[in-house]
A and B are shown apart, each in its own frame.
Chain A
Amino acid sequence: MAMTLTENILARAAKRNEVVPGENIWIDVDVLMTHDVCGPGTIGIFKDKFGEDAKVWDKEKVVIIPDHYIYTADQKAHRNIDILREFVKEQDLPHYYDVGTDRYKGVCHIALAEEGHTRPGEILFGTDSHTCTAGAFGQFATGIGNTDAGFIMGTGKLWVKVPPTMRFVFDGELPPYLMAKDLILRIIGDIGVGGATYRAMEFAGDGVYSLNMEERMTLCNMVIEGGGKNGVIEPDQVTLDFVKSKTDKPFEVIRAQEGAQYYMEKVYKSKDLEPVVAKPHSPDNKANVSEVKGTNVDRAYIGSCTGGKITDFIAAAKILKGNQVKTQTFVMPATTEVARNLKIEKLDGKTLEQIFLDSGATIGPSSCGACLGGPLDTLGRLNGDEICISTTNRNFPGRMGSKSSAVYLASPYTVAASALTGKITDPRDFI
């Protein structure tokens, strides 16, 4: 039977000619990523199961990126980074991006791509649900827990159930007021937060291929919010140019086979779509911005693996440029590379950094920040009953901190437009 892109990648990793949805297979892993929140538990399991003196299966294939709890006084958080540091030293791991050094990156999913660890055709597992972001590079990438990660550390293998593929096609280039975030929020609203459970979500169509890599990453990043196992986009020249600019490592582009069977296919006409938000308290609680405009917000937040890339900040800056925010606004670059680019990228002669500071926004350090609430002293955390509009990925109760806060998810355009008015605002009013 002809295989989809996801099935074909899994078949290669299982060293088999064919796999079919629903079967359980053992696959070889190309990259295992972990961070400061799940790394210590993973290392604990690895040592418990393989012995105190055990070595990781392949030190070139383990990537450790502290990113969650960096800028906090929580001593246990610092202790956890010490555990990572000690393990890296003991195992002599080359791919570690330590806090407090020039190598420090910030948000792991963006760092993986910037540092050339995301490559077409490969298998990437990470101890973070948004590991699915890397499917944008035409690879199989998904989140796992500490036990599975400990197993991979010792063996380089994991069992997976082959997922059937749901295919989402966007016909036509995006109108100038839409971003990838609008597309994925639309899909999640249509299928529900459990709508892709145990399935792959593949994105295609000239609407998708007109997007740059960062926007494609945003699409794949949020498949987990639909319950998807992985998101994936078949590579094109844009993918290959990006990957080759980041790494010299060889990789093999894998494609779907002619006549592959999909669980379902849904086609959207890009020009018919509107900017959307996910209302509190679920990523599938979709509304067109036009339906909720005028709703008061107390805070605007631009950051995270979903909405803290340079493309996201260029979009936000287009709207904030020359204007003053009316609500507390946080700009949280995902990585140190994004932060550096805020000082380099210019719009009409002004750097993005200057545009944000002039507008009255607060620029924070590179990390996961308040996307997941985190320690109580995290910059931007919702500590009371704030209503926040955010470029992040999840808005279940208490996600960004307090259980009594509320979060609207939206594109960087919509968040920036709303920051200027203090109310949910259609970005078309400013574009």
Chain B
Amino acid sequence: MERAVVFAGFGGQGVLLAGKILARAGMKAGLEVTWLPSYGPEMRGGTANCTVVLSDEPIGSPIAESPDVVMAMNGPSLDRFESRVAKGGALIINSSLIDRGVGRADVRGILVPANELARELGEPRVANMVALGAVVGALGVVPLAAVKEAMAAELGAKARGNIVALNAEALDLGHAKAEVT
């Protein structure tokens, strides 16, 4: 088993953090993982992405030619990665900011209004966790509970008040969107 996920969006949308949390959850679940960020001269408002590979064997290439799941938090990310998703893979589309769906018949498109759902929770910054919940659902190789634990560990000392609980709710909301009905 080897699966690759690309997280992409504007700098500041938390795509690198979402990837880190999935990588940490995979590690805790006993898998081999790699987390590879785009590390160009990037800034808030520019584009950012990272690739997470999860495997039950040592990982060769940390670059995914055909990711199984892509989380597109903005339009440019969908345009850039849509053609690369593996056949039978999934595209998580942040429909709060992207006004189109998937243009391919061989890929599952999951529309998640991540920003709106986050606002309904009262914390706009958890939009990335809503989308990550959908990624976890579509991917199906790391339990949601492990992702919640990894989220709490990754936020660590920065998490004050009910932040961990809010992020966990966000993960649940997104996860429900990706469940096959």
Determine if chain A interacts with chain B: no
